[in-house]
Amino acid sequence: MSSEVHAGYPGEIGCEAQSDARVKASAFVPASPISPGILHRPMTDADRLAAVRFAFLTPRALPKAETLPGRVVVLDIAFAADTGKTSFATVTLPFISGLGSRLAAWVDHHEHERHADYAGDERFVLASKSQHGGCPEMVTPELVARLGPADTIAMHVDLDGLYAGAKWLLGGIEPYEGADRDARAVDTRRGRPSPIAERIDRALRARFRDESLKHRIMQYLLARTRAPHHYAEIDAAARLVDPLLEQAQRLSEQYRVDGDVAYLEVKSNAPYDKTELLLLGQRRALVAVVRDAGSLSIAADFESGLDFVRLFNLGGGMPTRVSVPEARRDEVLAKLAQLAQGARNPTRS
C-alpha cells in the first residue's frame, strides 16, 4: 500500500484513487453551535450561517445524495473522469440525480465532455481551468444572490475548495483581500501565495484526511482570518509537512529522464508529498510521471499547453494533471514521448 500523502493539487485531482476510497463526506457538523435562543426569535444572517453544514468531498468518491441535508451547493467538484474504475455515469450522474431539485448550484472549473449536457441549467456554472485557474473567483455576490442560500456546502477537500466554500457563505466576498488570487496560485502551482494561504496549503498537505482541520480552516476563513486560536492550530499542522517534503526531495533523486519525460517508480514505504515530488520532476523535464500504488500520476506545468485529458481519453479533469491505472504504463510513455516531441516541434503552417 502506498504511503504517499497527496496535496490538494489542481483538480481531480486533489487526491488519487486510493485516497478517494478513504476520504468520505464529513460528519455534517453545523458551521458553529446553534444557540437554543434561535428557536424563540426570528433568524438573523448569523443564525443562518451557523446552521449551514459542511461536506468535504472528492470527485471520485461522492456520498449518497440523501446524506446531504436540505439545499446543496457543490463547489470545486469535477465531474468524474473515466479512469476505468470510475466515470461520470457511475459516480457523478447518480449524485446529481439523487440531489434532484435540492441541488442549488454546482460551480466547477475542470474540463469535462459532459459539461455540455448542463448548458441549459442555470444551477450549473461550469468552466475550464484555462478560463478560471481557481474556483473561488467564479463565486461572485451576484451568483450567490441568484442561487443561494444553502443548507449544505459540499466542497472539494483542497484549499481551492475550502476557499470557494467560505466565499459562498460570505455572500461572494473574499474572506481576506487577495484570497481569490491565492487560491489560483495554489491550484495552478503558478505564482507565490500569501503567507496565510501558504500555511493553509501546507497544513492540508500534512493532514489531508483530517476533517477537524478542515472545519477549523473554514472557521478561520469565515472569521475573515481574525481568529488567532484557529490560526495557531493551522500553523502547527503546517509544520508537519516538512518531513514529507524532505522525503519527496530524496525520492526525486531517483527520477529517470528520457527526453522530455521524468519517470519515477516509488518503492519506499516512507510517507511523502506527491505534489512536491511531481513539481520536482517538472524541474527535470517537461512532464513528470510517478508510479505508485497501482497508478500513474502525470503532471506538467499549468501553462505548458499539454492536454493529458484528451491524450488519454479521460473525459474530464485538469489537462495538465491526471492519474491513470498503471496497466496503461506502456501506452502512457509512448504517447507522452510523441506529445512532448510535438510540443518541442509544433507543425508550422
Provide the residue ranges of all domains of the chain, joining segments of one domain with +: 4-241, 243-344
Band (pLDDT 50/70/90 cuts) for residue 345 is low
Buried b (16+ CB within 10 A) or exposed e, 235-246: eebbeebeebbe
DSSP state at residue 250: H
User: What was the pLDDT predicted at 8?
Assistant: 36
- As a whole number of Å, the end-to-end CA separation of the chain is 49
pTM beyond 0.85: no
Is 243-344 a domain of CATH 3.10.310.30?
yes
> Over the stretch 270-294, which tens digit does the pLDDT of each residue have?
999 999 999 999 999 999 999 998 9
Confidence band (pLDDT; 50, 70, 90) for 303?
confident
Strands, DSSP E only, in the chain?
4-5, 53-57, 72-75, 103-108, 111-112, 124-126, 152-156, 256-258, 261-265, 272-273, 287-292, 295-300, 316-317, 321-325
**pLDDT for 348 beyond 50:** no
pLDDT tens-digit readout, 32-80: 544 444 445 554 556 656 789 999 999 989 999 999 999 999 999 999 9
82's enclosing H/E stretch is none
Q: Which residue is listed with cell 446529481?
A: 96
- Residues 163 and 175: beta-carbon distance below 8 Å: yes
Write the DSSP string, 134-154.
SSGGG--HHHHHHH---SEEE
pLDDT value at position 86? 86
The CA distance from 217 to 233, in Å, is 9
Radius of gyration for the chain, computed over Cα atoms and rounded to the nearest angstrom: 20
Residue tagged 506529445 (cell numbers): 339
Work out the pLDDT band at 15, boundaries 50, 70, 90.
very low
